[in-house]
Structure 1
Amino acid sequence: MRTALVTAVAGAVVAFLLGLLTFGVQATVHPHDVPLAVVAPPPIAERVKAADSAEVDLKVVDAAEARTLLADKEVYGVLEISPGQATIRLNPAINPSGTQVAQQVLTGVAQGAGLPVKVETPAVTAAERTAPLAASALLWVGGMIAGLLFVVLKGRRFRLLSALLTPVLVSSSVVGLLAWWGVTFSTAALTFLLAVAVSFALLQAGLFKHLGIRAMGVLGLLYLMAPAVAGQVPELLNPTYRAVLWSWTPFRFSAEGLRSLMYDGSISTEWWVFGGIALVGLVLLLAGKKAETDRADGVVDVGVHEADGLPRAERQHTA
């Protein structure tokens, strides 16, 4: 009776926590202060400012500043209004969720001014929009499975070699899959992809060394909750999720870094993040003892010396 109750309660608690950390992110999405830029003549600019709301942060700027803000990813979209025409400019290096909101809002602003709308943005396929987050998740899963199998197969030596060989093969597999979908990476993006794979594999191998199969409790939970958060932009997230999950998840840094490098952008913070993760993983691999595992033959050592054969009291009795 007690076992039935405990298992049922455990299932309910786990379902609640996973729902809170995964589906809850998407269920509570609502735009708040989404940064957008508008270039417009003074009379229209005043009407645009009046249309500002809690959902969006409309900045009225000149054309040069607007394009700089867009290139620097300080805004998710730019609306340029000229006599008889409105043009929406988007940056493919920005999270697709953000550009989608930007296009919807700026289209509404232009239509409110009674102007036809034209959208100018480089063509981006569905695979290219998916690739940064998909690659990040697959690199994590590949390293996690390799580390888990190393424990299950009772690997004792060459754990570091496995942690270095795994990212090379997994990243090659991911790049091949994306190429099949029609997505190609620049040299800088490929280098960053490999760096992410190495940092993931080192961290996972370090955790498996010290926790054994129990590391799956940590690594599996991170995989379940992080992509749901990393796929959103901060201005769409509930403030609690933004502070507790989005602010630190490595999936967010890897997806943003890959997306920027895919479109000839540059990154800096992301290199430091994954350099730090790799360093932590390397320290875990080189420090301390590995987690205790069962002996390969299934025999448990009870501390009886081979020379004795039997405990002392029993040997004296047979004498």
Structure 2
Amino acid sequence: MQTQSRRPAGAFALLAAVAGALAAVVLGFLTFGAQATVASDGLPIAVAAPPGPLQAAAHAIASHGGGQVSWRVTSPEDGRKLLEDKEVYGVLELPSTVVVSGAVNPLGTQIAQQVLTGAAQAMGGTPKVETLHAASAAGRVAPLALSALAWVGCLAAGAVLILVGHRAGRDAGVAARFTQIVSAGVLVTGVLAGFLKLWDSSLPLGWDVLGFLFLTATGFAALQTGLLRLLGVRAMALLGPLYLVAPAVAGQVPELLNPAYRAVLWSWTPFRFSAEGLRSLLQGVPGAPDVTTGVWVLAALLVAGLVLALWPSRSALRKSALQETEADTPDRVVQVGVH
């Protein structure tokens, strides 16, 4: 009898060990694997020169670099436009001016500045660095940090709502889920705005920034609440690890990521859309393409999440139909005569 009772316990212990090993494998791929395989591959930078002899020097510079960087030869005006549109990470304006931007991913900016400075020095000049939309330390960190905090805050709100409903023995209603999504969006936006002011009071906090933060928070909250309603607590196995992807993948320059990580993780993770759009807004570039892209993606997350969270269940639809049928059935009075 003792041997039989111990077998299930031993099998369960082995299963738990396998689950732990699988969790380590998944998290290793999602987080540290992305950082361990970083290598520059086609990082876009530009070399700009006015018409004349410097054009030949620009083409000579662009012919070097191999596959690690991707040079674009352009004019000084077009080079700065490319930088404003975030199509390149930096511009070398011949003879010796390196132009970078604080509104671009800081890691990509750092690498581009090193490459461009080396190219200018190879020509025998002493490069001067010019920074457009200069960013403070908080301005560089805040976009990704606030995106991750929005995800965690809204996830905690959705999880508490589900757990309270399970404790009460019933599912939270449509009104409760909608209230939770909106209130979490408002409160988390307030928290994020407070952190911005705490970290760097000079950062802009206008209606465009607040609106983007609110869209980010409500989009995250709606998606999480919808998945939690659909999958229950099991959704935490998907939503929780996504938080770990934020600093490991979303904050990376895509040209530095292994192509597999770039396609499987970076291309769709919601953090990158919120972080890059917020970066442009905080650095005073509201018309940047990633702001428009971020608004569309976050709005799509909001709509999809609201559909998952608020769409009536089959039991609710049947109950509503039954109530309508009862309301439409007239009360009939049958006269019974006794002769």
Give the alignment's TM-score, normalised by structure 2: 0.81
Aligned twin of 2:311: 287
SS in 2 for 1:90: strand
User: Which structure 1 residue ranges, 5 or more long, are not aligned?
Assistant: 292-319
Aligned twin of 2:188: 170
Displacement of 1:175 after TM fit? 0.9
Q: Percent identity?
A: 50
Give, as a single letter, the amino acid of the residue that structure 2 aligns with 1:47: A
* Preserved contact between residue 58 and residue 94 of structure 2 (Cα < 8 Å): no
Matched, 1:102 2:126: no
What is the correspondence of 1:261-272 to structure 2 with a 5 Å cutoff? 261-262=281-282, 263-266=284-287, 267-272=291-296
2: CA distance between counterparts of 1:237 and 1:114?
A: 33
Give, as a single letter, the amino acid of the residue that structure 2 aligns with 1:174: L
1: CA distance between counterparts of 2:20 and 2:63?
A: 51
Aligned twin of 1:307: none
2:124 corresponds to which of 105, 114, 130: 114
* Preserved contact between residue 61 and residue 119 of structure 2 (Cα < 8 Å): yes
Displacement of 1:89 after TM fit? 0.7
* Preserved contact between residue 227 and residue 251 of structure 1 (Cα < 8 Å): no
User: Which structure 2 residue ranges, 5 or more long, are not aligned?
Assistant: 1-9, 316-339
Displacement of 1:38 after TM fit? 0.8
Aligned twin of 1:135: 146
1: CA distance between counterparts of 2:65 and 2:104?
A: 22
* Preserved contact between residue 101 and residue 109 of structure 2 (Cα < 8 Å): yes
User: 1:70–1:8: structure 2 CA closer, same or farther, 3 Å change rule?
Assistant: same
User: 1:210–1:290: structure 2 CA closer, same or farther, 3 Å change rule?
Assistant: farther
Displacement of 1:184 after TM fit? 3.4
Displacement of 1:73 after TM fit? 1.1
1: CA distance between counterparts of 2:194 and 2:164?
A: 28
C-alpha offsets along residues 133-173 of structure 1, whole Å, 9 cap, x if unaligned?
A: 01111111010001111122227342211111111001101
* Preserved contact between residue 189 and residue 258 of structure 1 (Cα < 8 Å): yes
1: CA distance between counterparts of 2:177 and 2:204?
A: 32
Give, as a single letter, the amino acid of the residue that structure 1 aligns with 2:308: L
Aligned twin of 1:299: none
Displacement of 1:15 after TM fit? 0.3
User: 1:25–1:280: structure 2 CA closer, same or farther, 3 Å change rule?
Assistant: same
Displacement of 1:268 after TM fit? 1.7
Aligned twin of 2:336: none
Matched, 1:239 2:248: no
* Preserved contact between residue 171 and residue 197 of structure 1 (Cα < 8 Å): yes
What is the correspondence of 1:219-230 to structure 2 with a 5 Å cutoff? 219-230=239-250
Give, as a single letter, the amino acid of the residue that structure 2 aligns with 1:135: L
Give, as a single letter, the amino acid of the residue that structure 2 aligns with 1:74: E
Query: Once structures 1 and 2 are overlaid, which stretch shifts more, 143-152 or 222-231?
Result: 222-231
Query: Once structures 1 and 2 are overlaid, which stretch shifts more, 24-33 or 118-127?
Result: 118-127
2: CA distance between counterparts of 1:104 and 1:259?
A: 22
2: CA distance between counterparts of 1:164 and 1:89?
A: 42
Displacement of 1:43 after TM fit? 4.3
- What is the root-mean-square deviation in Å for CA atoms of aligned residues? 1.8
C-alpha offsets along residues 219-248 of structure 1, whole Å, 9 cap, x if unaligned?
A: 102212244211012111110000111111
User: 1:112–1:290: structure 2 CA closer, same or farther, 3 Å change rule?
Assistant: farther
2: CA distance between counterparts of 1:31 and 1:185?
A: 35
2: CA distance between counterparts of 1:46 and 1:162?
A: 58
Matched residues, number = 288
Aligned twin of 1:308: none
Aligned twin of 1:301: none
Aligned twin of 1:213: 233
1:273 corresponds to which of 280, 285, 297: 297
2: CA distance between counterparts of 1:216 and 1:268?
A: 30
More helix by share: 2
User: 1:111–1:231: structure 2 CA closer, same or farther, 3 Å change rule?
Assistant: same
Aligned twin of 1:71: 84
C-alpha offsets along residues 268-316 of structure 1, whole Å, 9 cap, x if unaligned?
A: 222211111111111112224499xxxxxxxxxxxxxxxxxxxxxxxxx
